Amino acid sequence: MITEPTTLFAFLSGVLGLIFWLSKQPALSKLFRILPAVIWAYFVPMLLTTAGITPDANALYSWMSRYLLPAALFLLMVTVDVKAILRLGPKALLMMVTGTVGIVIGGPIALAILGGVLPEGTWQGFATLSGSWIGGTANMVFMQNYIGAPDSILGPVIVVDTVVGYGWMGVLIFLSTVQGKFDTWVKADMTLIEDVNKRLEEIDTERRPAMTSDLAGMVGMTFVAVAVSIWVANNVMPESTYIGTSTWAILIVVTLGLAISFTRVREIEKPGASQVGFLFLYLLLTSIGARANLLAVLDAPLYLLAGFIWIAVHVGLLVLMARIIRAPLFFVATGSMANIGGAASAPIVASVYLPAMAPVGLLMATAGYILGIYAAPLAGELLRWVDGML
């Protein structure tokens, strides 16, 4: 097993590089058309961890989340056309809120169905998990304290969070290959999304090869912004049970990037700043995949079944809402990942569906952070009520 962080980083980087190199080979073009490179970037590390080659926990993964995630988000925000995204109207926000409602009621429904065969106190673990799925890790810690869940309950929770949560992300990535059929089925109104996507893609016509000075400028500015955001989060912003320092750092760096996007600095997209951001995201994606050991399924089968029921409720509501408001699969996928995956995953999923729309997923995930602060305690109280009824 590769455990030394630098060696592990080199190995995952090599895996990512090999996958994208293979995706450009003519003999494999049909395969990668059906299963895009980003799917392999996620699943290959997962299989390597399951095979015992890479670990499911390592200091490297925390480092990548701490630095590569805000770096990627900053670059995506600096290059975003906020005015164009706002033209999407309320549909994007409505789908994100629908996804949150699905998480809030999905847990209690799963507990009501399987409560008779699950261990006593399971509702506390589910309440803790609800924090992760609508607010991220900081909200999960808050929910554990809010509910008073013991640390012993966290084992199965982490298994469900990893296997079901990241597994659903992989499914969403795969479903991008059938978005045309789904959009036809719901009679999706593509007018606004096509207009916004076209505007965001227009910058491609102005691209030019990146010079060393371009790369030095964008990378230097990015990591200064990341360092400043982390420092402010650690030393200025108040840490509470609702918002931890890591969440503050993300919110600060995203806000900073958005502010800069209204200046001429946004022109760093011409030499491909967003592509550097995507590289950071895809490197982070390999570490996300490596955290999931498929053998963990054997450790908590009933918890996993509950997790699948939970996700099914969440997805069912999203599909129903998409049908009602004629929203495309892009909104279903990003609305789901904005909740379950947060800022680390939503831009990746969004970019798989429509490459220029990654910032939409990011903005939805950022809104999800805020909504989760209020929605997760509601989910916890519903779980407490269901447990009392059993």
Cβ-count burial of 229 within 10 angstroms (0-12 exposed, 13-18 middle, 19+ buried)? buried
Distances from the Cα of 133 to the Cαs of 182, 215, 311, 340, in angstroms? Answer: 25, 35, 10, 4
Of 11 and 66, more confident: 11
Residue 196 has pLDDT above 80, yes or no: no
Q: Which residues contact residue 234 at a Cβ distance below 8 angstroms, ignoring those fewer than 6 apart?
A: 245, 249
Q: Using the structure block, give the residue that is written with the tokens 């840490």.
A: 239
Q: What is the CATH number of the domain that holds 66?
A: 1.20.1530
| 149-153, 240-244, 280-284: segment of lowest average pLDDT | 240-244
> 337 and 365 in contact (C-beta within 8 Å)?
yes
Amino acid at 254: V
Q: State the maximum Cα–Cα separation within the chain, in Å, rounded to a whole number.
A: 65
pLDDT of residue 115: 82
Residue 204 has pLDDT above 60, yes or no: no
Distances from the Cα of 142 to the Cαs of 38, 232, 251, in angstroms? Answer: 32, 21, 18
pLDDT of residue 368: 75
The range of the structural domain enclosing residue 269 comes to 5-389
Q: Which two tokens stand for residue 302?
A: 């009933």
Give the tens place of pLDDT for each residue, 317-375. 999 999 999 999 999 999 999 888 877 788 888 888 887 788 788 778 777 777 877 88
| Mean pLDDT comparison of 29-33, 221-225, 261-265, 354-358, highest-scoring range | 221-225
pLDDT of residue 199: 67
Amino acid at 3: T
Of 111 and 243, more confident: 111
The pTM (predicted TM-score) of the whole model is: 0.72
pLDDT of residue 251: 82
- The mean predicted confidence, pLDDT, of the chain is 85
> 362 and 77 in contact (C-beta within 8 Å)?
yes
Of 191 and 139, more confident: 191
Give the tens place of pLDDT for each residue, 35-54. 778 778 888 998 999 899 99
Q: How many CB atoms lie within 10 A of CB 208?
A: 9
Residue 311 has pLDDT above 60, yes or no: yes
Q: Which two tokens stand for residue 322?
A: 């998409």
Amino acid at 155: G
Residue 308 has pLDDT above 70, yes or no: yes
Q: Which residues contact residue 267 at a Cβ distance below 8 angstroms, ignoring those fewer than 6 apart?
A: none
Residue 297 has pLDDT above 60, yes or no: yes
Residue 267 has pLDDT above 60, yes or no: yes
Q: Using the structure block, give the residue that is written with the tokens 């060393």.
A: 212
Total number of domains in the chain: 1
In three state form, how does the secondary structure of the chain look? CCCCHHHHHHHHHHHHHHHHHHHCCHHHHHHHHHCCHHHHHHHHHHHHHHCCCCCCCCHHHHHHHHHHHHHHHHHHHHCCCHHHHHCCCCHHHHHHHHHHHHHHHHHHHHHHHHCCCCCCCHHHHHHHHHHHHCCCHHHHHHHHHHHCCCHHHHHHHHHHHHHHHHHHHHHHHHHHHHHHHHHHHCCCCCHHHHHHHHHHHHHHHHCCCCCHHHHHHHHHHHHHHHHHHHHHHHHCCCCCCCCCHHHHHHHHHHHHHHHHCCCHHHHHHCCCHHHHHHHHHHHHHHHHHHCCCHHHHHCCHHHHHHHHHHHHHHHHHHHHHHHHHCCCHHHHHHHHHHHHCHHHCHHHHHHHHCHHHHHHHHHHHHHHHHHHHHHHHHHHHHHHHHHHHC
Band of pLDDT at residue 243, cut at 50, 70 and 90: low
The average pLDDT across 237-253 equals 77
| 96-105, 160-169, 194-203: segment of lowest average pLDDT | 194-203
Q: Which two tokens stand for residue 273?
A: 């700043």
Residue 386 has pLDDT above 90, yes or no: yes
Give the tens place of pLDDT for each residue, 96-140. 899 999 999 999 999 999 988 888 888 998 998 998 898 666 567
Q: What are phi and psi of 55, to 5 degrees?
A: -85, 155
Residue 145 has pLDDT above 80, yes or no: no
Of 119, 167, 110, 118, which is closest to residue 336 (Cα–Cα)?
A: 167
pLDDT of residue 201: 67
Q: Which residues contact residue 123 at a Cβ distance below 8 angstroms, ignoring those fewer than 6 apart?
A: 111, 115, 383, 384, 386, 387
Please report the sign of the dihedral spanned by the C-alpha atoms of residue 124, residue 125, residue 128, residue 134.
negative
**Percent residues over pLDDT 70 in the chain:** 92
| CA–CA separation, 61 and 179 (whole Å) | 31
